[in-house]
């Protein structure tokens, strides 16, 4: 490591101020996956977006972000984490301004893609700095609990903030608001963060970058085409191409001397399980919660502001639960939390399948959001800690990128698959309101099943003892 991450003269409190800046960064990155969601009906009318283009306003960001994160993590490790953080901030702000001033749907989608690309540089640099900054025991647990909770609640906070801005300003401010966050991040980063990077030979895996980016892009695009039929030539062709490219990526990583994603990062059972569960969480929070927002506005007739407030219930439950879950993690270890979390979340999603066109928020929605909030807090607190425990400092950036990537790629695939499920279920109904609710209910059912799969993954793969986790946390950097 080339020098200390933070100046010792600033004292221990500086690390926590730095954590606040880094957590704010993660909040903005996750928040931007959903902040535009509530504004989509307004943006669609303003720019004349088709339904397919409307979906790609969300997908372009998540796909660019998820597919480029591994490269962004390597750049942060090699080039310097603070430098990557600052450049990512500037680019993210510029892309946000472009999107907020867009004159067409195509321009908005391109700006969202550029946003995602710079977020892919910014996010792994931030998480890697947290990994290096907090290296021991309970302090590290607390830092990751804060960071993970901010990351996990960012999606719901994005819905709320998007509702406020759409109601009182315009959908454009859902992007322009990022300029304020960027200013705080740049000033805080300049004052508090110190450079860190890995030593030794720095080589970029360009073949790996190309195959994983094109593979993920082909896979997600293939899923979006499935609304025209799973057996169509385009759907099958893009899905097959995506799988082949990802297999080629895995082959290159196993044989390369400087792999983009070293196999040892993901082949550990606990860490690999955390990555897979994170992908499911991304699918649910980015993919299916979009349809809950549509239900609020298109069926229940809520304004964007009220819709955002309605979504905020889940976030409030997560935030209230987090201190208790953190104490439970220290007492019992991550395994019970990782099993109970997706199970409770699945119960909440299954409850949502009972929505009707004339149902009430208190009776049909509120209990489900409470269960989801508790279940997700059980996941957010230990998840990133598990995914990064035991990682060598020189691989902190790429491991941080992997955990972020799985969330957003899961969200991209989830959104594409849930859109197909919605279209097929809604097409069977005759009245518009019934078609909406039947389509949304089918999405929530599929999401609940996905969470049950996450429960099975936790039972099979998340098997550390509390003492093992504590030992790992105190020896991460040796």
Bigger pLDDT: 349 or 52?
A: 349
* Nearest alpha carbon to residue 418 among 313, 298, 293: 293
pTM of the model: 0.75
Planar angle of CA 409, 127, 278, nearest 5 degrees: 35
Please say whether the beta carbons of 334 and 386 come within 8 A.
yes
Structural domain boundaries in the chain:
8-204+260-474, 205-256
In this predicted model, what pLDDT tens digit does every residue of 282-329 receive, in sequence order?
Answer: 888 877 777 888 888 888 988 878 887 887 888 888 888 888 888 888
Bigger pLDDT: 65 or 145?
A: 65
Q: Identify the pLDDT of residue 66.
A: 74
Q: What percent of the chain has pLDDT over 70?
A: 88
Q: Identify the pLDDT of residue 396.
A: 65
Q: Identify the pLDDT of residue 26.
A: 78
Q: Which ranges of 193-303 does DSSP label H, i.e. alpha helix?
A: 206-225, 233-255, 263-267, 269-282, 289-294
Q: Identify the pLDDT of residue 471.
A: 40
Q: Identify the pLDDT of residue 11.
A: 52
- Token output for 2: 């080339």
C-alpha to C-alpha distances, 52 to 55, 113, 217, 221, 322, nearest whole angstrom: 5, 16, 16, 11, 37
Please say whether the beta carbons of 284 and 412 come within 8 A.
no
Q: Whose structure tokens read 């606990």?
A: 270
Q: Identify the pLDDT of residue 160.
A: 77
Q: Residues 126-153: what's their mean pLDDT? A: 72
Q: Identify the pLDDT of residue 372.
A: 92
Average pLDDT of the chain is: 81
In this predicted model, what pLDDT tens digit does every residue of 29-44 receive, in sequence order?
Answer: 877 877 887 778 788 8
Q: Residues 152-160: what's their mean pLDDT? A: 70
Q: What homologous superfamily is domain 8-204+260-474 in, according to CATH?
A: MFS general substrate transporter like domains (1.20.1250.20)
Q: Identify the pLDDT of residue 4.
A: 47
pLDDT(408) > 80: no
In this predicted model, what pLDDT tens digit does every residue of 371-406 receive, in sequence order?
Answer: 999 999 898 878 877 877 777 666 666 777 777 778
Sorting pLDDT into bands at 50, 70 and 90, what band is 7?
A: very low
Q: Identify the pLDDT of residue 141.
A: 67
pLDDT(426) > 60: yes
Reduced to 3 states (helix: H, G, I; strand: E, B; else coil), residue 33 is coil
Q: Identify the pLDDT of residue 156.
A: 67
Measured between its terminal Cα atoms, the distance across the chain in Å is 12
> How many C-alpha atoms does 54 have within 13 Å on its Cβ side?
18
Sorting pLDDT into bands at 50, 70 and 90, what band is 452?
A: very high
Please say whether the beta carbons of 33 and 62 come within 8 A.
yes
pLDDT(159) > 90: no
Reduced to 3 states (helix: H, G, I; strand: E, B; else coil), residue 261 is coil
Sorting pLDDT into bands at 50, 70 and 90, what band is 340?
A: very high
Please say whether the beta carbons of 74 and 260 come within 8 A.
yes
Bigger pLDDT: 4 or 41?
A: 41
Q: Point out the least confidently predicted range of 52-56, 126-130, 242-246, 352-356.
A: 52-56
Q: Identify the pLDDT of residue 193.
A: 80
Q: Identify the pLDDT of residue 316.
A: 85
Q: Which of 189-198, 219-228, 248-257 has the highest mean pLDDT?
A: 248-257
Q: Identify the pLDDT of residue 200.
A: 58
In this predicted model, what pLDDT tens digit does every residue of 455-474 receive, in sequence order?
Answer: 999 999 887 644 444 444 33
In this predicted model, what pLDDT tens digit does every residue of 194-212 receive, in sequence order?
Answer: 777 776 566 777 888 889 8
Q: Identify the pLDDT of residue 98.
A: 95
Sorting pLDDT into bands at 50, 70 and 90, what band is 432?
A: confident
pLDDT(348) > 80: yes
Q: Identify the pLDDT of residue 155.
A: 66
């Amino acid at each position: 490591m080339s020098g200390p991450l933070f100046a010792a003269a600033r004292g221990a409190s500086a690390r926590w101020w730095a954590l606040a800046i880094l957590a704010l960064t993660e909040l903005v990155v996750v928040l931007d996956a959903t902040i535009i969601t509530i504004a989509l009906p307004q943006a669609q009318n303003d720019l004349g977006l088709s339904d397919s283009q409307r979906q790609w306003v969300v997908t372009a960001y998540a796909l660019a972000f998820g597919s480029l994160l591994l490269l962004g993590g390597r750049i942060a490790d090699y080039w310097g984490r603070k430098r990557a953080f600052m450049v990512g901030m500037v680019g993210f702000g510029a892309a946000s301004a472009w999107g907020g001033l867009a004159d067409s749907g195509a321009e908005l989608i391109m700006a969202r893609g550029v946003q995602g690309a710079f977020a892919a540089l910014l996010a792994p640099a931030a998480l890697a700095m947290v990994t290096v900054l907090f290296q021991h025991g309970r302090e590290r647990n607390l830092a990751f609990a804060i960071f993970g909770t901010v990351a996990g609640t960012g999606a719901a906070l994005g819905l709320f903030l998007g509702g406020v801005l759409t109601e009182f300003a315009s959908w454009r401010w859902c992007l322009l608001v990022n300029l304020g966050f960027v200013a705080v991040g740049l000033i805080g980063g300049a004052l508090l963060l110190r450079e860190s990077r890995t030593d030794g030979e720095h080589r970029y895996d360009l073949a790996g970058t190309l195959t994983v980016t094109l593979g993920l892009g082909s896979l997600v695009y293939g899923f979006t085409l499935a609304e025209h039929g799973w057996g169509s030539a385009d759907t099958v062709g893009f899905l097959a191409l995506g799988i082949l490219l990802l297999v080629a990526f895995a082959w290159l990583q196993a044989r390369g001397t400087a792999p983009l994603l070293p196999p040892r990062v993901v082949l550990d059972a606990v860490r690999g399980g955390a990555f897979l569960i994170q992908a499911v969480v991304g699918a649910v929070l980015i993919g299916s919660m979009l349809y809950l927002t549509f239900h609020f506005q298109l069926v229940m007739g809520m304004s964007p502001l009220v819709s955002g407030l309605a979504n905020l219930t889940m976030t409030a439950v997560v935030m209230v639960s987090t201190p208790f879950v953190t104490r439970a993690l220290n007492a019992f270890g991550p395994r019970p939390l990782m099993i109970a979390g997706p199970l409770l979340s699945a119960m909440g999603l299954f409850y949502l399948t009972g929505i009707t066109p004339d149902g009430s928020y208190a009776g049909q929605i509120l209990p489900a959001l409470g269960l989801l909030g508790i279940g997700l807090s059980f996941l957010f607190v230990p998840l990133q800690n598990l995914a990064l425990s035991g990682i060598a400092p020189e691989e902190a950036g790429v491991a941080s990128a992997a955990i972020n990537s799985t969330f957003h790629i899961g969200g991209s695939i989830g959104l594409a698959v849930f859109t197909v499920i919605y279209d097929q279920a809604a097409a069977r109904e005759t009245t518009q309101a019934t078609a909406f609710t039947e389509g949304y209910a089918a999405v929530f059912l599929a999401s609940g099943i996905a969470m049950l799969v996450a429960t099975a993954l936790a039972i099979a793969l998340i098997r550390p003892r509390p003492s093992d986790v504590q030992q790992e946390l105190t020896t991460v950097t040796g």
